[in-house]
A and B are shown apart, each in its own frame.
Chain A
Amino acid sequence: MRVRTLIAGAAAGVLALTLTACGSSSSTSTTSTPSASASTAAVLTLQDGWAKSTDSMSADKKTMTGVFGMLKNTGSTPLTITGGSSAAGKMVQMHETVMNSSGTMQMQEAKAGFTIPAGGTFELKPGANHIMVMDLVKDLKVGDTVSIDLKTSAGVITVTAAVRAFPGGSESYNPSPSMSH
C-alpha cells in the first residue's frame, strides 16, 4: 500500500517537472528554499506546497493549519523528517491518518516522522499524511506564504507553502493536537 502510494507520488512529481520544463512553472511562492542552517544543499523540496488559511476558518478553529504538497527527496539516501518549527505557530508536527476503534478515520501524530526514500516523493494531502502547524501565533492570509523549518536527518531544511482558502481539513483528532486545549 505504502509502496503504491509512493509510486503514484513519483509519477505526479515527474509530471510536475515536465510541465515546469515546458515553461509552465508555478509561482515561485510554492517552491522551497534551503535555510541558512541547512547542512547541505536542499535535498528536500516541497512541490506545490500549500496551507489552509486562517481567514477561511471559523473563529474557533484558527488555532492550527495543515500543510500539504509533494515532498521530494533529491538525495541518494532516505530522509526522515522528525519535527520542525515555524514562526507562524508554536508547534509543528507530522500527522497521519488512522482508523480508530469505531471505524472512523482520525488524525494523529506520526511519532516516527515521515521518511522519504532516496530520489522519491512523499505526498501530503487533506485526509492523509500532512504537516500541522499548531498554536498559531498569527493569521495566515490567503495569498501569503508560510515557512517551516523541517528537522530532518539531513539537517534543518526550510520549505515554503502558499496559503490558500480551503474548507476541508477539519477532521477529528486523536488526541487533541493542541496541548493547550
Chain B
Amino acid sequence: MSSPDTTGGTARRGFLTSAAGAAGALALAGWTATAPSGASTPTGTTAGTAVGSATGTRPFRGRHQSGIIDHPQPYAAFVAFDLHPDVDKDALRRLFVVLTDDIERLMAGRGSLTDQETELAAVSADLTITVAVGARLVALAGATPPSWLAPLPAFSIDRLEERWGGGDLCLQVCASSPTTVAHAQRRLIAGLVTLASVRWVQRGFREPFEGPGRPMRNLLGQVDGTIQPAVNGPDDDLLWCGASAPAWLRDGSALVVRRIEMHLDTWDAVDRHSRENAIGRRLDTGAPVTAPAGAPAETAADLFAKDSLGFHVIDDGAHMRRAHATAPHERFLRRPYSYDDVPPPGKTSDSGLIFAAYMADPVRQFVPVQQRLAEKDLLNIWTTPVGSAVFAVLPGAAEGHLLGEALLGL
C-alpha cells in the first residue's frame, strides 16, 4: 500500500546503510522477546512484545506518547472527534484534564473514574491511547498550527469521503484484546461527551500472531510495513518534532490517517505472478522480486536489474519502485491496520487498509511519496484512497503534568 520502500537503490549508499540499520532496529525493537524494554530508551517508550498479554501495560508517562514506536498491538480504533461549538480555551483545559486522567487509568488497567466495568478495564492488554489534535483545536488553544497541519494536497487517485476525513481531535486506541479497545473507546467517548462528539471511527486489526516469520500482511496478502525508520535514535529527526517546532509540539509528531479501500473482486482475478509484478515484491517472503527465493523481506532491491528483453525486473509501475524513497527524508513510521467491514448492498467486501503513519513533517516526508504513487503505481488499479486526515501528535506528559499542557500555555 501507500508505503515508501527504502530498500534498494545502489546510488545512495549512505541511505542504504541507514535502511539496513532500520531493518535491524525493527527486528530488535519489535519482533524479539529480548527487546530492551525501556533500558536504552529514557523516552518512556518501550519496544513492546510481538505477542501481547492480558495484563501487559505500556507506559503513559514519558517524553513521547506510547502507541507510536512500540510494537503495534493487533487491534486498533482511530476515533476522531469534533469539538462542540461552544468549546473555548477553558473547556479545552478541562478536556485535557479528563483525557490525561482517563488515559493514565485505562492504560494502567484501572478504569476511568466513572468506570462501572472495571473488570473490562483490568484486562489492560498492552493498551495505548495516543492523543493527536487538529488545526482548529490548536487555534482554540491560542497556538499557531504548524503549516503541515492541514488536509494533504488533493491527489489524482483520491476519492475522499467526508465521513473519513478531518477532525479536531484523534485518539488512537490500540490493544492486544478487541474487548479492551472497545471498552477504552467507550469510556473515552463517554468521558468527553459534554465537550466533543464522535466524527468518525476506523476500527482495524493486524495479525495477532505477528512475529518472526509472520510479518504484518494487509488484506491483499502483501507483506506491509517491513522497512521502517530506526526507532532507537538515528532517525529521530524523521519521527519527532524537534527544536524547530513550537514548544508544545516538541517531542510530538504528526499522524497521517488514510483509508485505502481495496477492490478485492478484481484483485481475486489477478494471478500471483501478476500480483508480485504489481507490488515488486514476492508474496511469500515480502522480499523484492530481484531477491533470490527464500531471501528475507528486508533484502535490498535491485531497481536497475533488467530481464533478457531489457525490461526492469522490478516493473516501472511496481508499488515498491514508486514508493521507494528518493531522498533520505522521504521516510516515515508506518503503523497500519486492516479493516474489513460489512459489504454494502451489491458488493462482496468492504475491506482495505487504515494507513496510519507517524513523522515529523508530512508535507516534507510523505507528500512526495504519495505524489509519485498517485502518478503511477500498478496497485492503484485495485486500491482507492477514500479517507484522509492529518493530526499533530502531542508530546508525552511527564509525571504530574497534563497532556497538552504546553499547548494551552499552562
Interface set of A (CB-CB < 8 Å, partner B): 16, 19, 23-30, 48, 50, 53, 55-56, 126, 141-144, 162, 164-168
Contacts and interface: CB of A to CB of B under 8 A. Distances in A.
Contacts of A27: 97, 100-101, 104, 402
A126 B193 CA distance: 19
Contact of B116 (A24, A26, A29, A126): A126
Contact of B114 (A23, A25, A141, A164): A164
Contact of A23 (B61, B110, B112, B192): B61
Contact of B108 (A24, A55, A165): A24
A50 B114 contact: yes
A19 B110 contact: yes
Given A56-B193, A142-B94, A143-B94, A162 B400 contact: no
B98 A30 contact: no
Nearest to A141: B94
Contacts of B145: none
A144 B190 contact: no
B101 A24 contact: no
Contacts of A28: 400
B113 A164 contact: yes
Interface residues of B, number: 28
Contacts of A25: 399
B97 A29 contact: yes
Contacts of B193: 56, 165
A56 B101 contact: no
Given A55-B194, A142-B195, A30 B101 contact: yes
B106 to A, nearest CB: 11
B38 to A, nearest CB: 12
Contact of A165 (B61, B93, B104, B190): B190
Given A19-B108, A23-B61, A143-B94, A166 B101 contact: no
Contacts of B97: 27, 29, 143-144, 162
Name the 5 nearest CB pairs between A and B, nearest first: A143-B94, A143-B97, A50-B113, A55-B194, A24-B108
Contact of B105 (A26, A56, A126, A168): A26
A55 B100 CA distance: 20
Contacts of B105: 26
Interface in B352-409: 399-400, 402
B60 interface: yes
Interface centre among A55, A126, A168 (most CB of B within 10 A): A55
B404 to A, nearest CB: 12
B1 interface: no
Given A144-B97, A164-B191, A165-B192, 8 more contacts: A24-B108, A27-B104, A141-B94, A142-B94, A162-B113, A164-B113, A165-B114, A167-B190
B95 interface: yes
Given A23-B61, A28-B400, A50-B113, A162 B101 contact: yes
Nearest to A69: B113
Contacts of A50: 113-114
Nearest to B96: A143
30 contacts: A19-B108, A19-B110, A23-B61, A24-B108, A24-B110, A25-B399, A26-B101, A27-B100, A28-B400, A29-B97, A29-B101, A50-B114, A53-B194, A55-B194, A56-B193, A56-B194, A142-B194, A142-B195, A143-B91, A143-B93, A143-B96, A143-B98, A144-B94, A162-B101, A164-B98, A164-B114, A165-B193, A165-B194, A166-B114, A167-B190
